[in-house]
Amino acid sequence: MNELLSQNKSIYLQVSEMIETDILRGILLEEERVPSTNELAKLYTINPATAAKGINLLVDEGILYKKRGIGMFVAEGAKEHIIEKRRDAFYENYVKGLLEEAKSLGISSEQLVEMIRAHE
Amino acid sequence: MSQLVCENISKQYKKKVVLHDIDLTIEQGKIYGLVGRNGAGKTTLLSILTAQNPATSGTVTYDGMPVWENQKALDHLCFSRELNTLSVLGPNTIKVKEYLQMARTYYPNWDREMEQRLVAQFDLNPKKKISKLSKGMLSMVTIVVALASKADITILDEPVAGLDVVARDDFYHLLLEEHEATGRTFIVSTHIIEEAANVFEEVIFLKDGEILLKEDTQELLERAAHVSGLAEEVDAACEGLEIHHVEQMGRSKGVTVLLAPGEQIADGYDVTVQPVSLQNLFVALCGREA
């Protein structure tokens, strides 16, 4: 959660991604309470409505859930869920850009595959 | 829910029209940012909202009551003006302590404990004369007045002018804390847009005495984008969209677009699409060539 906010993406998306990353890294554990909207607002110096939007996104996806009167908690299976989600988005987020850049440089798919193999 | 509503407000000084027919509704519980160039009419608008300056025409109401000469409505409002080392009579020789005493008499919900806590936190010397304060200290006094007033709708005019970067960060934290604790409404005018953008739930752009837009800050940024590339490709990708601030150099072109709901930048063109910061958007909409 202590990453820095950038200007390159909506703030609420950055808030939700940082929480996800913390769940992936085991900084936040399943069934553990996550910081409140107001705690996040203070940490990042952002409007609480924006922090709430980021949190609500994760609630809608079932990654966090609300315990009435206590706060937000990491759902059981959240980590697996995030891994699946990010795998699904991997092509769109990473491969697509890689292929576009390769194409404009005239690097063929075979050469790309070769580079990946050589890296291993 | 309490609202501050301003309808058809116009203001004219002799022949100069400063505000044109402004409609604005300020809702309870939000932090608003008011942004505009020098001379756009920000201070005039804020002083009319709080009945410190009569409008040439139009009405301002709080909870349905007119605010003009109505103490019942004014008890809910605070406009913490920019302080100056000079008053109309020459150097402003009253002391910080005395200035705060006047504010204490004026605002019915004044929080004495908070006043003292902030004066200590900002390291302000209460015995110092206003005329001897630095720019940053003048801003701190206005912040103390605004926060300690405990008014439901509190307006700060350029509260961070002259403050160093650490003090500005402290101010945003104080503002968020007070907002969290009380749900008070704040309207903050500022020229330092970038660092305050994330604190404002809504932003109001004032240009040449008119409200250019008033919108949820994050939603506004989501519908704004910068598109650049070969001029023909950029034109094709942005055809039919609201375009601002066109910059061209040789074959290359860059534009700022504001997408209406349902619109998008056309796919299939070789262009770079980048997010726009609130400051860039402001320059695109209110800059010289806008």
Residue B279: enclosing H or E segment and its boundaries? helix B278-286
Chain A within 8 Å of B169 (Cβ-Cβ)?
Answer: yes
Residue B289 pLDDT class (50, 70, 90 cuts): low
Angle at which helices B135-149 and B96-106 cross, to 10° = 20
In the 8-state DSSP scheme, what is residue B203? Answer: E
Rg (CA), chain A: 18
Mutate to test the interface with B, among A44, A45, A53 (most CBs of B within 10 A): A45
CA B280 to chain centre: 17
Contact B26, B185 (CB under 8 A): yes
**B201 burial level (CB within 10 Å; 0-12, 13-18, 19+):** buried
In this predicted complex, what is the ipTM? 0.81
Between chains, do B172 and A8 touch, taking CB under 8 Å as contact? no
Residues of A with CB under 8 A from a CB of B: 5, 7-12, 38, 41-42, 44-50, 53
Question: What HEC string does chain A produce?
Answer: CCCCCCCCCCHHHHHHHHHHHHHHCCCCCCCCECCCHHHHHHHHCCCHHHHHHHHHHHHHCCCEEEECCCEEEECCCHHHHHHHHHHHHHHHHHHHHHHHHHHHHCCCHHHHHHHHHHHC
The shortest C-alpha distance from A56 to chain B (Å) reads 15
Contact B84, B123 (CB under 8 A): no
Between chains, do B169 and A46 touch, taking CB under 8 Å as contact? no
Identify the closest residue of chain B to A51 by CA–CA distance. B198
pLDDT in tens, B21-47: 999 999 999 999 999 999 999 999 999
pLDDT in tens, B124-177: 999 999 999 999 999 999 999 999 999 999 999 999 999 999 999 999 999 999
* 3-state secondary structure (DSSP) of residue B36: strand
Strand B210-216 to strand B224-230: parallel, antiparallel, or no bridges (unpaired)?
unpaired
All residues of chain A having their beta carbon less than 8 Å from the beta carbon of residue B273 are none
Q: What percent of chain B has pLDDT over 90?
A: 90
* Token representation of residue B106: 């004026």
Between chains, do B176 and A48 touch, taking CB under 8 Å as contact? yes
* Token representation of residue B187: 């309207």
